Amino acid sequence: MWRLIALATLLFSAMLGSAAEAKCRTCVESISAHTSDGTAGWGKQITLRLAARSTDGLALPANVTAIVMQVDGDRSKCITVALYKGDVSGDVATYAGTFTAYGQTVHSGRLDIAGDVFDFTVPLSGAPGMVTLVGVAPQPTAAPAPRTIVVPVTAPQAEEPAAAAPATAAAPLFDLSAPDRQGMLLAFAVIVFIGASVFVERRQAKVRRGAGSAEA
């Protein structure tokens, strides 16, 4: 079971490595380390060489930065090495830089080539080393083209003068056709009639009283 898991992990790592390699803008073709006398040892001057290829027409940088982070498999003080561009053939350029060797067998670290970052391991025997892409420089994004928005403009329409309200005839002081006016007149007539009837009855009663007194 564990063997299957390990095999699947190795295959998955290989797939990721291939995909990462396909995305690099400046890919490393080869890397190696050489000493002046061909033998490794403490305090030896060692030259790190690599060949880099531009994959998308990007101009190759004038120098490459290498950082040695492990010596003989053990973590050590980081050594920064500047590799300068030498021969250029088409889209491939070679770089080389010299530093003091500490260790006996192998150096490991990282490379920075125009923003692309690689892990590298190189033997001190002069044999070819190994390089793995671990990070790609962010691609500049083009700013969106400005868009012109056309807003239709219509001329303001002249406002028509407001129509004058039709003149209304003045209402008469007493509108006899109105129901309330008719009610008022009817009540007034009833009051006059009652008053007149009371007055007549009082006169008749007084006349009768006067006639009765005369007969007596």
Report the candidate in 65, 68, 102 with the shortest Cα–Cα distance to residue 83.
65
- When pLDDT is averaged across residues 55-66 and rounded to a whole number, the result is 88
pLDDT at 48 over 90: yes
Residues of the chain with pLDDT > 70: what percent?
63
In sequence order, the 6+-apart residues with CB closer than 8 A to the CB of 114 are: 25, 26, 58, 60, 61, 137
- When pLDDT is averaged across residues 34-41 and rounded to a whole number, the result is 69
Residue 110, number of CB atoms within 10 A of its CB? 16
Report the candidate in 67, 64, 99, 65 with the shortest Cα–Cα distance to residue 85.
64
Q: What is the DSSP letter of 197?
A: H
Predicted pLDDT at 126: 86
- Please tell me the least confidently modeled range out of 7-16, 87-96, 158-167: 7-16
| CATH class belonging to 20-135 | mainly beta
pTM of the model: 0.53
Q: Which amino acid is at 20?
A: A
Predicted pLDDT at 171: 52
Predicted pLDDT at 205: 81
Taking the C-alpha atoms of residue 46 and residue 37, their distance in angstroms, rounded to an integer, is 10
- When pLDDT is averaged across residues 136-141 and rounded to a whole number, the result is 68
Going across the sheet that includes 130-135, the strands are: 26-35, 44-54, 92-101, 74-89, 63-71, 106-113, 116-123, 130-135
State the pLDDT confidence band at 145, using cuts at 50, 70 and 90: low
Report the candidate in 13, 41, 33 with the shortest Cα–Cα distance to residue 121.
33
* Phi, psi (rounded to 5 degrees) for 168: -105, 140
State the pLDDT confidence band at 86, using cuts at 50, 70 and 90: very high
